[in-house]
């Protein structure tokens, strides 16, 4: 006859109580190590937050406003933005995509995945197209040659 879930829970509780009673020093040592590890992790996270706050204070209000606008309006991921080494290009006055010259509802920040540097503002379709081609000039030239060959017929 199978045992019920409640019986299993009770059996596990009993085993845990007995184990802790028999191995009190070992249990306390493990709990202390876990506590210290969590404390160290929390201190590390606090240091990172503090460093970020200091860096944020060094930014000019205009830089801070551009950063917030880029994160909010152009959906720049915080991680990718933090890896960016250069200054964000200003939004084009005419609101056009740098590749297709259309004026979309929303422009996205295009960046080089190798260096993290932002290249400009593109519409979503052009940005996805570049991503599908792997940001690789040879791939893009092959597509151009293919289209020229197809149009020549």
pLDDT in tens, 85-108: 455 666 777 888 888 888 888 888
Residue 4 phi, psi (nearest 5): -80, 165
Angle (CA) 70-74-75 rounded to 5° is: 100
Higher pLDDT, 44 or 11: 11
| Token duo for residue 49 | 């937050």
* CA trace torsion 27, 24, 12, 34 (10° rounding): -10
d(CA 145, CA 110): 24
Q: How many CA atoms lie within 13 A of 138 on its CB side?
A: 0
Whether residue 48 is predicted with pLDDT greater than 50 in this model: the reply is yes
Average pLDDT over residues 47-72: 72
| Residue 3 or 43, more confident | 3
Domains of the chain: 75-152 (3.40.1800.10)
Angle between helix 5-22 and 24-58 (nearest 10):
100
Q: Does 118 have pLDDT greater than 80?
A: no
SS3 state of residue 97: coil
Of residues 39 and 152, the one with the higher pLDDT is: 39
Q: CA–CA separation, 72 vs 83, rounded Å?
A: 17
């Amino acid at each position: 006859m199978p045992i019920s879930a409640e019986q299993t829970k009770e059996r596990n509780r009993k085993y845990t109580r007995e184990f802790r009673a028999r191995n009190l020093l070992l249990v306390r040592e493990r709990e202390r190590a876990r506590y210290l590890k969590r404390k160290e992790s929390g201190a590390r996270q606090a240091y990172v937050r503090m460093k970020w706050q200091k860096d944020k204070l060094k930014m000019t209000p205009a830089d801070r406003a551009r950063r917030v606008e880029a994160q909010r309006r152009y959906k720049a991921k915080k991680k990718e933005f933090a890896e960016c080494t250069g200054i964000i290009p200003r939004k084009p006055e005419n609101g056009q995509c740098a590749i297709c010259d259309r004026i979309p509802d929303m422009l996205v920040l295009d960046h080089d995945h190798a260096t993290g540097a932002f290249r400009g503002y593109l519409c979503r379709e052009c940005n996805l197209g570049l991503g599908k081609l792997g940001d690789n000039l040879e791939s893009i030239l092959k597509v151009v040659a293919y289209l020229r060959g197809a149009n020549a017929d």
